Amino acid sequence: MPTTAISLPPTPKRAHYDAIIVGARCAGASTALLLARAGLTVLTIERRPYGSDTLSTHALMRPAVLQLSRWGLLKPLLRAGTPLIETTTFHYGDEEITIPLNAGPDLPGLIAPRRTVLDRMLVDAARKARAEFLHDVAVGDLFADTRGRVRGVEIRGAGRAALRLSADIVIGADGIGSLVAKCCDAQVLRRGTVSAAHVYGYAPVEPGAGYHWYFRDGIAGSLIPTNAGLACIVASVPTKLFDERFRLDHFRARME
């Protein structure tokens, strides 16, 4: 009888790390890269698969692109087919203002890479610096020492018993609905007062297109060139309007 092999998630190489990072997207992977390059032992845990996509506008502004250049990752991203953005155009009603971007040796322009490209490249660079990653693994809980300081995580992977890993510091990079923030009962420092809903889509775009940002009364939009000859198209409206007119029919929302 043929047998089916079950692939289990990788096993951590040690029981204790200098730092454990929860979340391996842009924030978590780049933090792992910098800590590993500084000589720390780092484990980063991500519940989604390696190289998977995630909802994003992809648009990076000058500070982010400059950091990627300093880390040696800008040129590889461009070689991977990420278009170079050389202009930004703002549309205020019928008024149009185009601003050329000042280029330099470390900053030839802006980029908006797909997350399947950017996140994977950050993870690969961090691994090259000896950071460890566990994908397809969820953090179930944190644990603390007798003084209440968080000292590690409990992870759960399919087909494997729960495992506790300790660290000198645990970093939450797990985004919206952060488990780390919830487990630590983190204090809310700022709370937004304006709510908007966003509809995302992709469409073919001509080579050489720049960023386009659109603003009209009660609605905003953007066109953001990304990989594979596509642009990320985003339309934003007040949440109340979205609930009233579009929530039950996203296709009609995109068309309108």
Q: What pLDDT does 252 receive?
A: 77
Q: What pLDDT does 77 receive?
A: 98
Average pLDDT, the chain: 92
| Predicted confidence (pLDDT) at residue 65 exceeds the cutoff of 70 | yes
Taking CA atoms, 214 is separated from 91, 157, 178, 218, 224, in Å, by 5, 44, 31, 11, 11
Burial of 128 (0-12, 13-18, 19+ CB in 10 A): exposed
- Residue 62 DSSP label: H
The 3-class secondary structure across 91-153, one letter per residue, is EECCEEEEEECCCCCCCCCECCCCHHHHHHHHHHHHHHCCCEEEECEEEEEEEECCCCCEEEE
Residue 188, strand partner residues: none
Instruction: Report the pLDDT averaged over residues 152-170.
Output: 87
Q: What is the pLDDT of residues 196-251, one digit of tens each?
A: 999 889 999 999 999 999 999 989 999 999 999 999 999 999 999 889 888 888 77
Instruction: Report the pLDDT averaged over residues 54-64.
Output: 94
How many percent of the chain have pLDDT more than 90?
77
Q: What pLDDT does 204 receive?
A: 97
Q: What pLDDT does 254 receive?
A: 72
Distance between CA atoms of 216 and 65, rounded to whole angstroms?
A: 29
Give which of 15, 26, 12, 10 is closest to 63, Cα–Cα. Answer: 26
| Predicted confidence (pLDDT) at residue 5 exceeds the cutoff of 70 | no
Going along the chain from its start, the domains and CATH numbers come out as 16-58+115-184 (3.50.50.60), 82-112+191-255 (3.30.9.100)
| Predicted confidence (pLDDT) at residue 70 exceeds the cutoff of 60 | yes
Q: What pLDDT does 9 receive?
A: 56
Taking CA atoms, 167 is separated from 24, 135, 256, in Å, by 17, 18, 50
Q: What is the pLDDT of residues 100-125, one digit of tens each?
A: 998 888 899 999 999 999 999 999 99
Distance between CA atoms of 193 and 205, rounded to whole angstroms?
A: 34
Per the structure block, which two tokens stand in for 227?
């990989």
| Predicted confidence (pLDDT) at residue 6 exceeds the cutoff of 50 | no
Instruction: Report the pLDDT averaged over residues 32-57.
Output: 96
Q: What pLDDT does 127 receive?
A: 98
Q: What pLDDT does 8 receive?
A: 52
Instruction: Report the pLDDT averaged over residues 3-16.
Output: 70
| Predicted confidence (pLDDT) at residue 7 exceeds the cutoff of 60 | no
Q: What pLDDT does 157 receive?
A: 65
Q: What is the pLDDT of residues 132-144, one digit of tens each?
A: 999 999 999 999 9
